[in-house]
């Protein structure tokens, strides 16, 4: 049996329509109503207690980063839907992802999520959940929700992508893997995935010292470009290779910075988001390069004149297991450019 029955889902949708937000259930306890062996399990998450009575069977993951963790844990058959993608799925996960319904390329509606009869909802960002429905609203229907710890550590108040008072660490991403593995009762798989990620970072950064290299990260938008501040996922990459982010003096996650200021900072290397979504201008890296090389303000920058571009997926520039790919690629390209030994 995969999650709540059709009648349970219809119950939830009926109550939602009627405005009677009464809990319809959640989790998948056995037919007697008892918790599954080893459950209930509770995880601390963003100041909340998330309790499950059984391993989720019909999870809906609202962000690419969260989905790729579930797929990496071998849980494709328990993912009932996914949404909000910036890039193609990792090559190694293509087969696993092929059977997972894409509810929306961006944010799905609340009704679309409920139509999949979820017994668990996960997301990489608090903002993604809130655009669908509040966590309280899901809880009233008996659906536990989980948000990536990397986003919990960020101040999400106000407009924009929030800010960080401290540098994000990979430990937050490892915690997300371990939390999800525990909730889905696949702890060994979680431990193995974390070990693999740690080993890859160690191998990529062994003996590298990029302390003399300055880097800029451009996510998207050419009119008011989103550049990485000090302390998000790009900060992890920069810190692990020892380089310097030219905008490490701002704690905003993705501040919008004018091109005159960018040119003044004149970084050695430009890390360019290579996104396949279509919500901003200059999503693809090639679009960014054409702009940089034709714009009178940017075309004389050292990185542009020397074509020192590093293309990186949007997923790698957000806190996720793809951030490890970012560390690997940036380190390899700096060696290729001859900027580090």
Kindly write down the DSSP assignment for every residue of 102-147, as one continuous string.
Answer: EEESSPPPHHHHHTT--SEEEES-HHHHHHH--HHHHHHTT--EEE
Q: pTM here?
A: 0.90
Nearest-CA neighbor of 89 among 69, 74, 111, 116?
69
Could you tell me if 249 and 280 are in contact, meaning their C-beta atoms sit under 8 angstroms apart? no
Give pLDDT, residue 29.
62
Same fold, 6-147 and 205-336: yes
Give pLDDT, residue 28.
57
In the chain, where are the structural domains located? 6-147, 205-336
Give pLDDT, residue 4.
35
Q: How far is residue 203's CA from residue 201's CA, in Å, rounded to a whole number?
A: 5
Q: For the chain, which ranges sit under pLDDT 50?
A: 1-26
> Long-range CB contacts (< 8 A, 24+ apart) of 204-208?
204/240, 204/324, 204/327, 204/328, 204/331, 204/332, 205/240, 205/241, 205/327, 205/331, 207/341, 208/241, 208/242, 208/331, 208/334, 208/335, 208/340
Give pLDDT, residue 139.
96
Domain 205-336: state its class: alpha beta
Q: With respect to CATH, is domain 6-147 assigned 3.40.50.2020?
A: no
Give pLDDT, residue 35.
85
């Amino acid at each position: 049996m995969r999650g709540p029955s059709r009648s349970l889902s219809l119950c939830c949708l009926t109550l939602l329509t009627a405005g009677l937000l009464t809990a319809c259930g959640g989790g998948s306890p056995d037919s007697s109503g008892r918790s599954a062996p080893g459950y209930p399990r509770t995880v601390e998450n963003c100041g909340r207690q998330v309790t499950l009575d059984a391993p989720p069977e019909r999870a809906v993951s609202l962000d690419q980063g969260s989905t790729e963790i579930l797929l990496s844990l071998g849980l494709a058959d328990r993912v009932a839907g996914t949404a909000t993608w910036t890039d193609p799925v990792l090559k190694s996960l293509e087969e696993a992802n092929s059977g997972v319904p894409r509810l929306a390329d961006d944010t799905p509606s609340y009704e679309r999520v409920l139509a999949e009869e979820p017994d668990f909802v996960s997301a990489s960002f608090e903002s993604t959940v809130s655009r669908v429905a509040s966590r309280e609203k899901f809880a009233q229907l008996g659906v536990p929700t989980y948000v990536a710890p990397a986003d919990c550590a960020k101040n999400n108040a106000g407009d924009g992508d929030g800010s960080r008072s401290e540098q994000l660490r990979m430990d937050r991403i490892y915690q997300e893997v371990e939390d999800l593995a525990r909730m889905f009762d696949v702890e060994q798989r979680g431990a193995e995935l974390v070990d693999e990620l740690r080993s890859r970072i160690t191998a990529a950064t062994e003996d590298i010292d990029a302390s003399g290299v300055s880097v800029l990260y451009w996510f998207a938008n050419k009119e008011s470009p989103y550049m990485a501040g000090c302390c998000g996922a790009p900060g992890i990459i920069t810190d692990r290779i020892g380089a310097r982010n030219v905008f490490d003096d701002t704690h905003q996650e993705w501040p919008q910075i004018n091109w005159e200021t960018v040119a003044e900072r004149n970084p050695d290397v430009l890390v360019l988001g290579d996104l396949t979504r279509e919500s901003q201008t200059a999503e693809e890296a090639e679009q960014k390069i054409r702009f940089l090389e034709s714009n009178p303000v940017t075309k004389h920058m050292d990185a542009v004149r020397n074509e020192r571009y590093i293309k990186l997926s949007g997923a790698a520039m957000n806190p996720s297991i793809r951030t490890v790919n970012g560390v690997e690629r940036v380190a390899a390209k700096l060696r290729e450019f001859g900027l580090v030994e």
